[in-house]
Amino acid sequence: MKLAIVVNEGPYTHQASDTALHFTRAALEAGHEIERVFFYHDGVNNATRLTVPPQDDRNLQKEWTELGTTHGLDMVVCIAAAQRRGILDANEAKRQGKDADNIAEGFRISGLGQLIDAGIQADRLVTFGD
């Protein structure tokens, strides 16, 4: 089965990000294909490389990056939600006149069209968070 995943909540504030990560990992292990993981609303906060959780806590950004790299996942961050929350890649930082970017490896910024396309291409669209 081909799945598209939507993550609407950020790390450390809601269980949705953890659950989405575990679900995605389990789906891959069960042989399912992940069309795309789309990070929307506060879910874009999973993509910042500047998160520094305590040493004894999980690092969700790192776990998403590792999962995405290992399985070649297309992990898309909504551009409008990202800009509102200060998540920028190098191109957006330059375009917006900012002096730095902070998107983590494995994530890319794009628009809502990527969510619509994922929903069309996938057999199921699974959403985590409000």
Q: Any idea which residues carry the catalytic annotation?
A: 78
List the 33-39 sheet strands across, edge first: 107-110, 75-78, 33-39, 2-7, 124-128
Count CA within 13 A, CB hemisphere, residue 33: 7
How do 107-110 and 2-7 pair as beta strands? Answer: unpaired
